[in-house]
Amino acid sequence: MPHSFIVSGTNPERTLLLVDGSSYLYRAFHALPELKSPQGEPTGAIYGVLNMLRRLAADYEAQARAVVFDAKGRTFRDDQYPEYKAHRAPMPDELSAQVEPLSEAIRALGWPVLIVEGVEADDVIATLADEATRRGWRAVISTGDKDLAQLVDSRVTLVNTMSNETLDIEGVKLKFGVPPEKIVDYLTLVGDAIDNIPGVDKVGPKTAARWLSQYGSLEGVIAHAGEITGSVGENLRKVLDWLPKGRLPKGRGLITVKRDVALPVTLDQLADRQADPSRQRALYERFGFRTWLKEVESAPQQPQQPSPPSTLQKRRYSAILTEGQLRELVNKLEAAPLVGFDTECVGLEPMTARLVGMSFAFGNEAVYLPLAHEYPAAPQQIDFGTALELLKPWLEGAGFRKVGQNFKFDCHVLANQGLRLAGCVHDTLLESYVLEVHQRHDLGALALRHCGWQTIS
């Protein structure tokens, strides 16, 4: 499951989910057919963005989240470079009419909306992502903007719901030919036609990536500009005053995102926002979103109260650190009528996530099997291959019944290890999504709603 992984063996990692609202607003407007409300209002962009947010909420368990839009008016980049975005046409009337009702609908879904004057959405997102990682959180940024690839690191990932693309460190290297820390230099050389930021004429992605690989950085490219032959070398030398030189960054300064924006909210204030079903009903009726309206109308009229805490029972918690303990665990798993199972991973993308452990629960026992933890003072762990070989019959046995949260993720992670997970009879994420579409589906919310338990965070 993609919602968390254990760093120290005790605290699950928290996630901040950020959405580049401005990026998706335009893309939804141009990608979807022209939709109208019963009153004739344009609603295509509203529908597209809300649909994307619903998908993100189902795919990513986050403890805090926000949708960030560009503010109206000038930014510091316009002051630095008057031609910045100068060729962009004004927002179409059909789109501008959807901005305010969209913001209202986003808030009704339980997502905070952030707009900060004088900067762009990218700068707000970068500041929030930095704050999250400083506090030990992960940040997942949903965007179609290549500029934000400069933020990617071991704790920051980009996702693009419209192209089903996920960019971690390796993903950035594969797509652009350079690592995240060189994205700004790369874009400075290539330029950005959308934002009207010139680069080096006739220098495309391959040439920029090759130069940065050969010379190490933009400063290195500038230092060796006299050695580069051909028309691209001539074009490079023509724009040396535009590229960063000494202490006067120009082109690169426009592309670099700010990470110190004064924000109107704290990270904690972006956590645990509840949806407003009554406002959703009113808006969906106005927009003519009949399917979503039926979903909300079928939900309880009042927020469902958490179940009273289940009767406390004495439970046994243990970690498996020896091969003998693991063999004993396998015997218990095969004898249990139903086992709660979860993979613990570093990373949110199932095709690249690194398996570091597995969790099991049956009867009154909860067991954790660390496989690849590397934090300071980590205990000696069972050989990775040996552990998987011992667990393989149970993992692949269709007769061994398992319950989990988002088994699709676990199946991909185990498939990367040559294992075919079987016997998955209950997926609480999918069951909640089908039966409680109006509610949150993360494991913490399910535990509180159905068992009255507050999970560790």
Q: What CATH number corresponds to the domain at position 89?
A: 3.40.50.1010
Mean pLDDT across the chain, nearest whole number? Answer: 87
Is the per-residue pLDDT at 249 higher than 70?
Answer: no
Report if residue 433 sits inside a domain.
yes
- 246-253 LR contacts (CB < 8 Å, sep 24+): 250/80, 250/81, 251/188, 251/191, 251/197, 251/198, 251/199, 252/184, 252/185, 252/188, 252/218, 253/80
Report if residue 245 sits inside a domain.
no
Give the total number of structural domains in the chain: 2
Report if residue 231 sits inside a domain.
no
Segment 150-180, tens digit of pLDDT = 999 999 999 987 777 889 999 999 999 999 9
When pLDDT is cut at 50, 70 and 90, the band that residue 125 belongs to is very high
Report if residue 290 sits inside a domain.
no
Is the per-residue pLDDT at 396 higher than 80?
Answer: yes
Residue numbers of the domain that contains 33: 15-168+262-269
Segment 292-338, tens digit of pLDDT = 998 888 866 554 555 555 555 567 888 999 999 999 999 999 999 99
Q: What does the alpha-carbon distance between residue 180 and residue 117 come to, in Å, rounded to a whole number?
A: 27
Segment 179-215, tens digit of pLDDT = 999 999 999 999 888 887 888 889 999 999 999 999 9
Report if residue 70 sits inside a domain.
yes
Q: When comparing pLDDT for 371 and 82, which is higher? A: 371
What's the CATH number where 392 sits? Answer: 3.30.420.10
The number of beta carbons lying within 10 Å of the beta carbon of residue 325 is 15
Report if residue 305 sits inside a domain.
no
| pLDDT of res. 271 | 84
Average pLDDT score over residue span 371-394: 90
Query: Among the listed ranges 28-32, 93-97, 160-164, which one has the minimum average pLDDT value?
Result: 160-164
Boundary of a domain, candidates 237, 269, 301: 269
- Predicted TM-score (pTM) of the model is 0.64
| pLDDT of res. 314 | 60
Segment 335-355, tens digit of pLDDT = 999 999 999 988 878 888 899
Is the per-residue pLDDT at 8 higher than 50?
Answer: no
When pLDDT is cut at 50, 70 and 90, the band that residue 246 belongs to is very low
Is the per-residue pLDDT at 2 higher than 70?
Answer: no
Report if residue 410 sits inside a domain.
yes
Percent of the chain with pLDDT over 70: 91
Query: Among the listed ranges 181-190, 330-339, 427-436, 447-456, which one has the minimum average pLDDT value?
Result: 447-456
Report if residue 292 sits inside a domain.
no
Residue 431 CB-density burial (10 A; 0-12 exposed, 13-18 middle, 19+ buried): middle
| pLDDT of res. 192 | 83
Q: When comparing pLDDT for 391 and 244, which is higher? A: 391
Q: What does the alpha-carbon distance between residue 124 and residue 15 come to, in Å, rounded to a whole number?
A: 17
Q: What does the alpha-carbon distance between residue 152 and residue 157 come to, in Å, rounded to a whole number?
A: 6
Q: How do beta strands 354-362 and 339-346 pair?
A: antiparallel
* Bridge partner list, 360: 341, 367
Structure tokens at 365: 């026992």
| pLDDT of res. 9 | 34
Burial 22-39 (b: 16+ CB within 10 A, else e): bbbbebbbeebeebeeee
Q: When comparing pLDDT for 25 and 194, which is higher? A: 25
